[in-house]
Amino acid sequence: MFRTTALRLTALLAAAPAFAGTLEQPVADTIVIAPQPVVVAPTPRLIFTLRGGVAVSPEYFGSDDFEVGPDIGFSLNYANLGGREFGSTEPGYRPLGFGLTGAFRYIGERTADDSPELSGLADIDDAVELGLGARYSWENFEVFGNVRQGFGGHEGVVGDLGADVLFNPTDRLTFSAGPRVFIGDSEYADTYFGVPAATGTFAAYEAEGGVLSAGVELGMTYDFSDRWGLEGALRYDVLQNDAADSPITANDDQVSIRLGVTRRFSLNF
């Protein structure tokens, strides 16, 4: 009997650890992970780039003195108008073939206080030019033109024609170089190059529109990120036709330099 009891006790002690382990093992909780909704960002309806910086240019068209002023620029990157898309939403995208762009230019005021040699001529207020442009691009070359309407200091219609050879040392850096032709109507030409009546300094002169300058521009753009960038240009123009013949013009050779920071904006409405 003692032997039977000992055998039963030994078997019970041998089974105790396994039994204890069964009692001490926690029951795993069931975790249910709910599927997360996929958030799709809305496609912008309008994307454009603004440029702001500093420019060194002649004090006025035809001047042989220079002044420092603001550099302001605008370009249209993408538009969704009634389901029709123009351009691209991709940062740094440069489309090949035909494309449309925005066009903008700011012209500072012209006063005799700033330029005493213009004494006797009426002051001209600041002007803003807004319009559209078109371009046709190849891999390393493009041609373009734009038309702008003036507001403020002048209400004429002006435009530019040009072409550029492009060089890209990196994905973010671009150099460009090419010819430029500037055209203005009679309203614009007479505002900046005309003399309504003879003064003590200038004879009366009526300026007609047409090709008013021709030259070349060297440009550079660098993208710091998808939104921010740097853009600069050196431009040399020679005044032509009635702009060159104007008694206001002191120097046919016009040189300007600009450097500005660019910021890309997206609107969804």
The per-residue pLDDT for range 152-192, each reduced to its tens digit, is 999 999 999 999 999 999 989 999 999 999 999 999 999 99
Sheet holding 141-152, edge to edge: 84-87, 66-81, 46-58, 253-267, 228-239, 210-223, 173-184, 157-167, 141-152, 127-137, 97-107
Tokens describing residue 124 = 């001209």
pLDDT for residue 39: 56
CB 260, CB 53: distance < 8 Å: yes
**Residue 96 backbone dihedrals phi, psi, to 5 degrees:** -95, 155
What are 197-229's pLDDT values in tens digits? 888 789 999 999 999 999 999 999 999 998 999
What are 227-253's pLDDT values in tens digits? 999 999 999 999 999 999 999 999 999
Give the predicted TM-score (pTM) of the model.
Answer: 0.75
With H, G, I as helix, E, B as strand and everything else as coil, classify residue 186: helix
With H, G, I as helix, E, B as strand and everything else as coil, classify residue 29: coil
- Alpha carbon 130 to its chain's center: 14
46-267: which CATH number, 3.40.1350, 3.40.50, 2.60.40, 2.40.230?
Answer: 2.40.230
Q: Which residues contact 206 (CB under 8 A, 6 or more apart)?
A: 190, 194
pLDDT for residue 34: 59
What are 36-73's pLDDT values in tens digits? 665 555 678 888 889 999 999 999 999 999 999 888 88
pLDDT at 8 over 70: no
Domain residue ranges in the chain: 46-267
